[in-house]
Amino acid sequence: MLLVALPEEAFFRGYVHSRLAEATGPRGAIGPVTRANLYASLLFALGHFGTSVSVARASVFFPSLLFGLLRERTGGIVAPVIVHALSNLLARALFAGFALT
């Protein structure tokens, strides 16, 4: 799970989110969600359409907002990587349990 979570978080939260935060400033878009987090999460969700276009692929937008919030609150990517990996593990377990894989 870390083989997916670590590179994705390093790119989307470590690089994209950081550059967007520099460009957009600290102002929020909606409540605690900053514009940088919103834009990075949209890009994260769009990036997941590369393998297939479906509602399930777009659903990564909402966890991405959480990953971005964790990045902003902790100032690093360790927490988002851990939560991302655990989210992937939970999704895999649920899909296997419901025979959706």
**pLDDT tens across 14-30, in order?**
999 999 999 998 777 88
**Bridge partners, residue 28, by sequence:** 34
**For position 86, what pLDDT does the model report?**
95
Residues of the chain with pLDDT under 70: 1, 100-101
pTM confidence score? 0.87
CA–CA distance, 86 with 42 (Å, rounded to integer): 21
Cβ(45)–Cβ(14) below 8 Å: no
Q: What is the pLDDT of residue 59?
A: 84
Helix (H, G, I), strand (E, B) or coil at 41: helix
pLDDT given for residue 48 in this prediction = 84
What values do phi and psi take at 30, rounded to 5? -145, 110
